[in-house]
C-alpha cells in the first residue's frame, strides 16, 4: 500500500475545523482506494505568532518541504491586526509560497448546479472558470519601501511620508505561468484569456508579447486579451463564456474573489498552489479564517474537502480517490445537505459525515 506524507497546517479561526474534516475525508477515501497517509500537523499564522513569536517557523517550512503535499486551513484574525507588518499572519502564506516555489495558483470558480440560486447574479446557469494566478512575482514580491519625500505637489504641498510597491515580471516568470495556462486550456474548453493592464503597464505589455509568441505552439487554444477593469465587468456580464484566465499575482487575487462570489459561495471554492514538477503543492480553501464563526460548528468544510480532492489529483496523481471525493460532495449537495453559507443549517460535522457516507 502506498503511503503519502501530508503536512497539515490548520492555522487560525475555522482553519482547524475545516482541515480536520478534510483529513477525515482523505482517510476514508484513501482506505477505499488502498492508499494511506502520514499526516504531520504544523503551525503557521497567528497561532504560530502566539507560540513561537513568528508566523512561519522554520520547522513548519521544513516539514512542508519534506512532504508530498501540504493541506492548509486558513490564517489570520483580528487578534493579530496590530502586530508588526513583517510578523502578520499573512506573512506565513507569502513565506510558504516563496519558500516552496509555488508560482502557479489554480483557483477554479465552478458553479454547482444545485447552488445556482445562491449566486447574486440572475440567470447564471453555468460557470466553470479556472483562474491561473501567478503567485510568487509581481507587486507582492517586488521592491517595497517607505521614505520621506521633500518634493512637492503642484500646489506646493510637501509630499511627506511616501510608500511604494513595484510590479516587476521577468520573461522566465511570465513564460512558465503562461505555458501552464495554455496547457490547462488544452485540457479544458481550449480558451485562454490573458488579463492585464497593457494599456498602462509596461509589465503587462511584456505578458502580451510573450503570450503572442507562445500562441503558435498551442494552435488548438484560442487566446484573447482583456484589460483587468473590463474583465471585472465581463465576469459579471457573461461569466459562462470564460474558460481559463491567466493573470498576474495582484489581478488574480482580486478577480478570484469576484469569480468566487458569482458561483454563490466562497465556502465552496478550493485552490491549489503548485511549483516545479516533483515539488510539494499546497492546497487550501479560497475562504479565510472567518473568526466570527470559529468554534460555532457553522463552517462549510466543502472548500477544504474539495482542496483535498485537488491534492489527490494534482500532487499525488490519485485520480480515482480524487473523483470519489468530488462525486461524494455533489451527491451530498444533491441530497440537500447545506451549511448556513449555502442556505441551510447543518453543522460542519454533519456535512463532513454526509460526504464520508457517500464516498
Ligand atoms: C489570497 C489572500 C492572500 C493574498 C493574502 C491573505 C495574503 O487574499 O490568498 O487570495 O493576497 O494572496
Ligand atoms: Mg485574496
With cut-offs at 50, 70 and 90, classify the pLDDT of residue 266: confident
pLDDT digits (tens, 9 = 90+) for 41-60: 999 999 999 999 999 999 99
With cut-offs at 50, 70 and 90, classify the pLDDT of residue 113: confident
- For ligand 1, atom 12, the nearest C-alpha belongs to 253
Residues whose CB is under 5 A from ligand 2 (ion)? 253
Q: What is the pLDDT of residue 137?
A: 98
pLDDT over 90 (residue 26): yes
Q: What is the pLDDT of residue 264?
A: 85
With cut-offs at 50, 70 and 90, classify the pLDDT of residue 327: very high
Q: What is the pLDDT of residue 340?
A: 93
Ligand 1 centroid to Cα of residue 76, in Å, is 11
Ligand 2 centroid to Cα of residue 219, in Å, is 32
pLDDT digits (tens, 9 = 90+) for 84-102: 988 899 999 999 999 999 9
Ligand 1 site-directed mutation target among 86, 132, 253, 271, most atoms within 8 Å of CB: 253
Q: What is the pLDDT of residue 103?
A: 98
Q: What is the pLDDT of residue 257?
A: 92
Is the beta carbon of 258 within 6 A of some atom in ligand 1? no
- For ligand 1, atom 6, the nearest C-alpha belongs to 90
Q: What is the pLDDT of residue 124?
A: 87
The size of the chain, in residues, is 359
Q: What is the pLDDT of residue 177?
A: 98
- For ligand 1, atom 2, the nearest C-alpha belongs to 253
Which residues are designated catalytic?
140, 197, 229, 253, 257
Domain borders along the chain are 1-106+269-359
pLDDT over 90 (residue 265): no
Q: What is the mean pLDDT of residues 264-292?
A: 94
Cα-Cα end-to-end distance for the chain:
19
Q: What is the pLDDT of residue 88?
A: 92
- Residue 97 CA: nearest ligand 1 atom is 12
Instruction: Tell me the whole-structure pTM to 2 decimals.
Output: 0.95
Ligand 1 site-directed mutation target among 73, 93, 103, 248, most atoms within 8 Å of CB: 93
Q: What is the pLDDT of residue 85?
A: 85
Q: What is the pLDDT of residue 296?
A: 97
Q: What is the pLDDT of residue 135?
A: 98
- For ligand 1, atom 7, the nearest C-alpha belongs to 90
d(CA 264, CA 268): 8
User: Cβ distance 246 to 272 under 8 Å?
Assistant: no
Considering every ligand atom, which ligand is closest to the CA of 138?
1
Ligand 2 centroid to Cα of residue 33, in Å, is 34
Ligand 1 centroid to Cα of residue 75, in Å, is 10
Is the beta carbon of 12 within 6 A of some atom in ligand 1? no
Is the beta carbon of 93 within 6 A of some atom in ligand 1? yes
List the one residue out of 314, 310, 308, 298 whose CA is nearest residue 350: 298
Share of the chain above pLDDT 70, in %: 100
- Residue 94 CA: nearest ligand 1 atom is 7
Q: What CATH number does domain 1-106+269-359 carry, 3.40.718.10, 1.10.357.10, 3.40.50.10860, 3.40.50.10950?
A: 3.40.718.10
Is the beta carbon of 90 within 6 A of some atom in ligand 1? yes
pLDDT digits (tens, 9 = 90+) for 292-301: 999 999 999 9
Ligand 2 centroid to Cα of residue 169, in Å, is 20
Q: What is the pLDDT of residue 145?
A: 96
With 0-12 / 13-18 / 19 or more C-beta atoms within 10 angstroms meaning exposed / middle / buried, residue 247 is buried
Q: Which residues face 104 on adjacent strands? A: 134, 274
Considering every ligand atom, which ligand is closest to the CA of 249?
1
Amino acid at each position: 500500500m502506498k503511503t503519502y506524507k501530508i503536512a497539515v497546517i490548520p492555522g487560525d479561526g475555522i482553519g482547524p475545523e475545516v482541515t480536520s474534516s478534510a483529513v477525515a475525508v482523505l482517510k476514508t477515501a484513501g482506505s477505499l482506494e488502498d492508499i494511506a497517509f502520514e499526516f504531520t500537523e504544523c503551525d503557521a499564522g497567528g497561532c504560530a505568532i502566539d507560540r513561537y513569536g513568528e508566523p512561519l517557523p522554520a520547522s513548519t517550512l521544513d516539514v512542508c518541504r519534506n512532504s508530498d503535499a501540504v493541506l492548509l486551513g486558513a490564517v489570520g484574525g483580528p487578534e493579530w491586526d496590530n502586530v508588526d507588518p513583517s510578523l502578520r499572519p499573512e506573512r506565513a502564506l507569502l513565506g510558504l509560497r516563496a519558500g516552496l516555489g509555488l508560482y502557479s495558483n489554480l483557483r477554479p470558480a465552478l458553479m454547482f448546479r444545485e447552488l445556482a440560486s445562491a449566486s447574486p447574479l440572475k440567470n447564471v446557469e453555468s460557470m466553470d472558470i479556472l483562474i491561473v494566478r501567478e503567485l510568487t512575482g509581481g507587486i507582492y514580491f517586488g521592491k517595497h519601501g517607505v521614505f520621506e519625500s521633500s518634493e512637492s505637489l503642484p500646489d506646493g504641498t510637501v509630499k511627506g511620508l511616501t510608500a511604494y510597491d513595484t510590479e516587476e515580471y521577468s520573461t522566465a516568470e511570465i513564460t512558465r505561468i503562461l505555458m501552464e495556462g495554455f496547457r490547462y486550456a488544452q485540457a479544458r474548453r481550449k480558451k485562454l484569456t490573458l488579463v492585464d493592464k497593457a494599456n498602462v503597464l509596461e509589465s503587462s505589455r511584456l505578458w502580451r508579447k510573450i503570450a503572442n509568441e507562445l500562441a503558435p505552439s498551442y494552435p488548438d487554444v484560442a487566446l484573447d486579451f482583456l484589460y483587468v477593469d473590463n474583465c471585472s465587468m465581463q465576469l459579471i456580464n457573461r461569466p459562462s463564456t470564460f474558460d481559463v484566465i491567466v493573470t498576474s499575482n495582484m489581478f488574480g487575487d482580486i478577480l478570484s474573489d469576484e469569480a468566487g462570489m458569482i458561483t454563490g459561495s466562497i465556502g465552496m471554492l478550493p485552490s491549489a498552489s503548485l511549483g516545479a514538477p516533483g515539488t510539494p503543492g499546497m492546497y487550501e480553501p479560497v475562504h479565510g479564517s472567518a473568526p466570527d464563526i470559529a468554534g460555532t460548528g457553522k463552517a462549510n468544510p466543502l472548500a477544504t474537502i474539495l482542496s483535498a480532492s485537488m491534492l489527490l489529483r494534482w500532487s499525488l496523481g490519485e485520480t480515482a480517490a480524487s473523483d470519489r471525493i468530488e462525486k461524494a460532495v455533489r451527491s451530498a449537495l444533491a441530497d440537500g445537505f447545506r451549511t448556513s453559507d449555502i442556505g441551510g443549517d447543518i453543522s460542519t460535522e454533519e456535512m463532513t459525515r454526509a460526504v464520508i457516507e457517500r464516498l
